[in-house]
Amino acid sequence: MIDLDTEICVCNSLTVKDIADCAKENNLTTLEALLENVICPMGDKCESCQDEGFHNDGLNLPLVLAMVQRGEV
């Protein structure tokens, strides 16, 4: 299990919990909707959080979104 305090979007200082909360509260169900939202901007600067993850570890926005959809966070 991923630590909910793990920072995923480093440029915007957003953790797994922050991203999951934003997705749930705003009913963001696709990566496009997550990236286009203006309430809690993410993935708009270095963009590594969209693909390989900031530390090249695979912890990224699509993974968090999938975890939200499966009810894991």
Other beta carbons less than 10 A from residue 34's beta carbon:
22
Residue with tokens 């693909």, as numbered in its chain: 51
Give per-residue pLDDT as tens, 7-30: 999 999 999 999 999 999 999 999
Domain ranges across the chain: 7-69
Section 36-59 average pLDDT:
92
Strands 14-15 and 7-9: antiparallel
- In the chain, DSSP finds a helix count (H) and a strand count (E) of 3, 2
Give this prediction's pTM. Answer: 0.92
